[in-house]
Copies of this chain bind each other. A is one copy, B any other.
Amino acid sequence: MELRIALAQVNSAVGDLDANSSAVRAVTARAVAAGADVVLLPEMVLTGYPVEDLALRGSFQRAAAARLQTLAAELAADGLGATAVVLGSLGTARAERPTNVAAVLRGGAVEAVYTKHHLPNYGVFDEYRIFAPGDPDDVVVVEAGGHRLGVAICEDIWVDGGPVAAMADDGLDALLVLNGSPYEFGKGAVRRRLTRDRARQLGCPVLYVNLVGGQDDLVFDGHSFVVDAAGDLVAASPGFVEDLLLVALPGDGAAPTTPAGYALPPERSDIAQMYEAIVLGLRDYVRKNGFEKVVLGLSGGIDSALVAAVAADAIGGENVVGISMPSRYSSDHSRDDAADLARRIGADYRVRPIGPMVEAFLAEMDITGVAEENLQARVRAVVLMAVSNSEGPLLLATGNKSELAVGYSTVYGDAAGGYAPLKDVLKTHVWELARWRNEAAAAAGEEPPIPWSSIEKAPSAELRPDQKDSDSLPDYDLLDNVLEGYVERSLGREELLDSGFDPETVELVLRLVDRAEWKRRQYPLGPKVTAVAFGRDRRLPVTNRWRERL
């Protein structure tokens, strides 16, 4: 008998049990109306992900457990009780930690619970801190319409052994994999290859559903997909949007099929995907934290121009407050480019020269050199935060990864802000993204959002006369290559020299990065904890709808 399975790629918010639960009910109703017998949802969709130390709070654990039971009953009351709904949530504690689970809801009850076995604990993941692992032999197989569907969660298919190996001889008709897999440059190909290998290992199709949406410093890209038993791609959801993907498992062990008229979404370029990830991350950070607008300083340079264009794409240009804050070192072309950009994206544009405020400090104190450069950047931050406090918009920091890595920014100055859309984007990618966005606009017959002169002129901080980035830093092509080795790949000095970089450049970049890294950590906003009397701050999500007081 043919079994129809819907992969529901949804966007949930950490802590918002009611809204996430409503989203599950709504998408299940849509899936069933489209003919689905089974609905598959992402990892921890009910609680949001990553929950960080919120998972450790007893009151939240109890609320999540209760919400899951209620959801099962609500689905039945909605007339969806015959459908098997497989979704991720927070599970009952084992020993002293809760678990990361996939629950199977059917017939108004929680029919089965699978506990994630392989817990990632590297890079952005800290799951050993907050979860207890499931027993690798405690597998869950969902029976539906004569089919046997194995269940696994994300990291379970990235590591050999564990539940996938335990199910190898179970005669599965398909493997359902619930994921909370964040976007990384080029990760799509890795996911496909890995899933292909698991399909071949199990000899059955694999259905991979992923979260979509921004959550604090992560962006989940969606890109859910289905491969057949040979590992070949059958169907896929687009990235960076919610989606409902329907496939059917024939009763005869043949490959999964797609509905009439279905076509695979086009592949996007790496730069296009990066742009979409940045837009989605910004939009969800703003909206999930309850903001309507953003504010940022517009210098006329490429970084603030790109951030403004991203913000306009994310929440609409009319919700972007752009403030030009010229000093005596600002060039005319900078002011013109800032105004031109604001016009192109339809921003709420204001001009606020900082001369009088800077002069007030200089009249009282003896401030020169780099301290004077920092003063200008900090006066601008005070202006921007006053607008944020008075009118409510979220302040965006416009720094890119290259300049932040080498410390080419001011603590409590241009580094100030609640969200920095380019913090993980190297300067060479900033230019590529700006060109891509402008060319996409031109191809669509629209006015490009970013003034071409902002893209083409030599970068300058304009904090002293005739200052250029190239006075202090290597050429950005070279700098980004060294940063890629030193920061991303953790290469040491010797390894960088062996890669062919010249000793002077390596020396300069390592000195700048080490110093900047130290300064950045030395001036955190949430200042140092002395661990006197109590422990270090727990790690909680920023975007977190869970409130004890509700």
A236 to chain B, nearest CB (A): 21
Q: Are A184 and B535 in contact (CB under 8 A)?
A: yes
Cβ–Cβ contact A532 & B274, under 8 A: yes
Identify which of residues 259-301 in chain A touch chain B, using a CB-to-CB cut-off of 8 Å: 274, 277-278, 281-282, 285, 289
Of A16-24, A68-76, A205-213, A376-384, the stretch lying at the interface with chain B is A376-384
Instruction: For A58, give its contact among B363, B490, B514 (CB under 8 Å).
Output: B490
CA distance A214 to B123 in the complex (A): 27
Question: Taking CB as reference atom, which chain B residue is nearest A289?
Answer: B522
User: Knowing A533-B426, A549-B510 touch, does A216 contact B528 (C-beta < 8 A)?
Assistant: yes
Contact pick for A382, options B217, B361, B420, B533, CB 8 Å? B361
Q: What 0/1 readout, one digit per residue, does chain A (518-542) give for beta carbons within 8 Å of chain B?
A: 1011111111111111111010111
In the complex, the answer to whether A532 meets B281 with C-beta atoms within 8 Å is yes
Q: Which of B274, B285, B522 is close to A418, meaning CB atoms less than 8 Å apart?
A: B522
Do B383 and A365 have beta carbons less than 8 Å apart? yes
Across-interface contacts of A532 in B (CB, < 8 A): 183-185, 219, 274, 277-278, 281, 424-425
> Does residue A397 face the partner (Cβ distance < 8 Å to B)?
yes
Instruction: Write the chain B residue with the least CB distance to A218.
Output: B531
Docked CA distance A185–B530 (Å): 11
In the bound complex, do residue A123 and residue B536 qualify as a contact, i.e. CB atoms below 8 Å apart?
yes
A99 and B357 CA atoms in complex are apart in Å by: 54
Could you tell me if B527 and A415 are in contact, using CB atoms closer than 8 angstroms? Answer: yes
Interface: A447 (CB within 8 A): no
Task: Decide yes or no whether A416 CB sits under 8 A from chain B.
Answer: yes
Given A357-B357, A371-B390, A420-B530, 18 more A-B residue pairs with CB atoms under 8 Å apart are A129-B129, A183-B532, A184-B533, A277-B530, A281-B530, A368-B390, A375-B386, A397-B527, A412-B416, A418-B522, A423-B526, A488-B534, A488-B535, A510-B549, A514-B547, A514-B549, A520-B526, A521-B540
Q: Is B383 a contact partner of A531 (Cβ separation < 8 A)?
A: no
A128 on the B face (CB < 8 A):
yes
Contact, CB under 8 Å: A424 / B530: yes
Q: Are B124 and A531 in contact (CB under 8 A)?
A: yes
Q: Is A511 an interface residue when CB atoms closer than 8 A count as contact? A: yes
- Do A520 and B525 contact each other (CB < 8 Å), given the known contacts A357-B361, A357-B364, A507-B549? yes
Give the nearest-CB partner of A391 in chain B. B371
Q: Report the minimal beta-carbon distance from A288 to chain B, rounded to whole angstroms.
A: 11
- Nearest B residue to A483 via CB reads B534
Contact string against B for A residues 400-420, beta-carbon threshold 8 Å, 1 for contact and 0 otherwise: 010010000001100111111
Which B residues are in CB contact (< 8 Å) with A375?
382, 386
User: A185 to B533, Cβ gap below 8 A?
Assistant: yes
Query: From residue A224, how far is it (CB to closest CB) to chain B in Å?
Result: 19
Q: Which of A108-116, A195-203, A336-344, A492-500 contacts B (4 or more CB under 8 A)?
A: A492-500
Chain B contacts for A365, CB-based, 8 A: 352, 383, 386-387
Q: What is the distance, in angstroms, from A482's C-beta to the closest C-beta of chain B?
A: 11
